[in-house]
Structure 1
Amino acid sequence: MSNPALRRALQHRRFVVAPGVFDMISAKVADGMGFAALYATGFGTVASHLGLPDAGLATYTDMLGRVRTFAEGCRTPIIADADTGYGGLLNVRHTVAGYEAAGVAGIQLEDQETPKKCGHTPGRRVIPAEEMALKVRVAAETRRNPDFLIVARTDARTTHGLDEAIRRGRLYAEAGADVVFIESPESEAEMAEIGRSIRKPLLANMVEGGRTPILPAERLAQLGYAIAIYPAVGFLAAAAALERAYAHLKAHGDSTGLPPGESYGFGRICELMGFPEVWDFEKRWSSSEAPR
């Protein structure tokens, strides 16, 4: 069952900041911090699961298993990246049904050609807008719960310009998208133009080192945006922390002397992963104390 909290937040115009999650440690950490939504990043999930670039190499099956694990392990609503829907219209129907059954609150579909590429890398090509509009219509028709959100993304800005990207955003909104995602605008002025031009909740993709300026949540809301995703912030921080810790181990031959704050702490990670409940269960059902 889709979590209705995210749709309610949009209806009440509460700005949503969604950190990217890419494995269950990142998901568990973010889930306990009070965010209105989490974003299951395709880039980060493919990297952590397969060790491959986000270049259309992961399959529907690869991603569905991860998405289901995120949804089952988190209380926070999750928006999940589903690339192009993994094929044509029939694939989109299958993907939407699978993602909704997995328990996420929303699915993101994009208008790139297959194989797709990461939205802030060069060489992206898009399918005709009318083909994507059909995908959006199929997605909206397929969902069983109206709280399940359809996020329609266009990658047309980089190759075809802002006007074409806005035209596509409007078309996808008319086709039934609940949220419109114009990927990689290149200035605050472009983001303002998007906000003036599309009368549907808008999603901003805040990628450190990407093509779009990173703006405060208050400013994004002023420009007309409803959601800001930060897909890379978690895995960029995690990779940097791992590199520092492994470099220390290589240089010193042990893990003592790591600077304060560099380690999460074994007790804390045990608690995060749910070990206290396991220990309580084992104690309760031990041979000497089992319920009768």
Structure 2
Amino acid sequence: MSARAAFRAGLASGRLLRFPGAFTPLTARLIEERGFDGVYISGAVLAAERGLPDIGLTTLTEVTDRGRDITATTTLPTFIDADTGFGEPMNVARTIQSLELAGLAGCHLEDQVNPKRCGHLDGKSVVEPAEMVRRLRAAVGARTDPNFVICARTDARSVEGLDAAIERAKAYVDAGADAIFPEALADLGEFEAVRKAIDVPIVANMTEFGKSELFTAQQLADAGASVVIYPVTLLRIAMGAIERGLDAIAADGTQAALVPQMQTRARLYELLRYADYNAFDHDIFTYQENS
């Protein structure tokens, strides 16, 4: 609950919050150590971890369990991708309750039609605004902690144009959304237009290989964004390194040349707090009272 309060306070602070995407619980610990404001948990990454495309194939249980695992490793607020809410409004209500119980600080729900697509790919379809309003009303009504942040994502920019996306954003704010996530905006001017139209925080998605330029944090702050997420960045860095490492092992017959690029065992144990676990075990399990 303290992380949720911190998220709320950050959104009200007027400064840009930076949320890199954690693809494992251990990466969340690194994100916190490096001084970021929060941890994002991407639906695309959750699907990719299972060898699946980001088309709505993951379940509420899978998303909730992964969210709980990542949240448990950090004191930072965790902000998770809840896709379209995993069903009709009643399912959306259960989604919010499940994510709250798992310790998440907030989530975003989107206005795509199922089966959904990655927000930066073509071929998306969006539901009628009234349908998304019902999703949001269900989400807000199901919330038990008022600090749990419910963000509405609209994918309408690529489908219906910027003006329609802004009108949807206004309707979603009226339905109770705490923040708006306008997906796949073309330039900083579009962020500024959304900022002028609504008075709740705006989430910017800086995903690589997408429709938006990779703007700097300062550019986004100047354009009126409140949160920037880097959803797949760490996974892409890691997968690139893994591919290069496998190529080297296949070519050289050994991983020896890769060792200087690796995280050391000592550093891994430091992140895992290995010494703390050993100390606990020594003090409790092997404790012997003096006679």
TM-score range, shorter chain: over 0.9
User: What does residue 274 of structure 1 align with?
Assistant: 273
* Contact 2:179–2:202, Cα closer than 8 Å, also in 1: yes
Q: Secondary structure at the match of 1:4?
A: helix
Which runs of structure 1 show a deviation greater than 3 angstroms over 4 or more consecutive aligned residues? 289-292
1:101 equivalent in structure 2 = 101
Match of 2:29 in 1: 28
Structure 1 residue runs without a partner (length 5+): none
- In the TM superposition, residue 144 of structure 1 has moved relative to its aligned partner by 1.1
Task: Work out the CA distance in 2 between the residues paired with 1:24 and 1:108.
Answer: 20
What secondary structure does 2:90 align onto? helix
Equivalences for 1:104-123 in 2 at 5 Å? 104-123=104-123
Task: Give me the whole-angstrom Cα distance separating, in 1, the residues matched to 2:118 and 2:289.
Answer: 54
Q: How far has the Cα of 1:284 moved from its partner?
A: 2.8
Task: Provide Cα deviations, 1:44-70, integer angstroms capped at 9, x if missing partner.
Answer: 12211x111111110111111101111
Q: Identify which of 281, 284, 290 aligns with 2:288.
A: 290
- Superposition map of 1:121-160 within 5 A: 121-160=121-160
Tell me the residue number matched to 1:69: 69
Q: Describe the SS at the equivalent of 2:257.
A: coil
The 1-side partners of 2:191 and 2:284 are apart by 58
- For 1:82 and 1:63, the matched residues in 2 are separated by 8
Q: Secondary structure at the match of 1:245?
A: helix
2:18 equivalent to 1:17: yes
What secondary structure is seen at the aligned counterpart in 2 of 1:3? helix
1:274 Cα deviation (Å)? 2.6
Residues 246 and 87 (structure 1), Cα distance of their counterparts in 2 relative to 1, 3 Å cut? same
What CA deviation, in whole Å up to 9, does each residue of 1:83-126 have, x standing for no partner? 00001100000000000111111011001111111111121111
Whole-Å separation in 2 of the counterparts to 1:176 and 1:159: 24
SS of the residue 2:4 aligns to: coil
Distance 1:278 1:266 in 2: 16
Match of 1:247 in 2: 247
Q: Matched residue of 1:132: which SS?
A: helix
CA distance in 2, matches of 1:285, 1:12: 43
Q: Secondary structure in 2 aligned to 1:121?
A: coil
Letter in 2 for 1:274: R
Distance in 2, Cα, partners of 1:118 & 1:25: 25
> Is it true that 1:220 corresponds to 2:220 in the alignment?
yes
Shift of 1:285: 4.3
RMSD: 1.5
The size of the alignment, in residue pairs, is: 289
Match of 2:185 in 1: 185
**For each residue in 1:185-244, what CA deviation from the matched residue of structure 2 results, as whole angstroms up to 9, or x when unmatched?**
112222222222222110100011110112111121111110110101111111111112
Equivalence for 1:209 = 209
> 3-state SS of the aligned residue for 1:258?
helix
Which amino acid is the alignment partner of residue 275 of structure 1? Answer: Y
CA distance in structure 2 between the aligned counterparts of 1:97 and 1:234, rounded to whole angstroms: 28
Q: Report what 1:47 is aligned to.
A: 48
TM-score, with normalisation over the residues of structure 1? Answer: 0.94
| Residue type of the alignment partner of 1:290 | Q
Kindly provide the CA deviation profile for residues 160-202 of structure 1, in whole angstroms up to 9, marking residues without a partner as x: 1111111101110111111101100112222222222222110
- Structure 2 SS opposite 1:70: helix
CA contact (8 A) 1:20 1:232 kept: yes
3-state DSSP of counterpart to 1:76: coil
SS in 2 for 1:116: coil
Report the Cα distance in structure 1 between the residues aligned to 2:246 and 2:263, rounded to whole angstroms: 15
**Distance across 1 between alignment mates of 2:239 and 2:123:** 26
**Alpha carbons 1:284, 1:291 under 8 Å: kept:** no
Query: Residue 285 of structure 1 contacts residue 291 of structure 1 at CA under 8 Å; is this kept in 2?
Result: no
Percent of aligned positions that are identical: 36
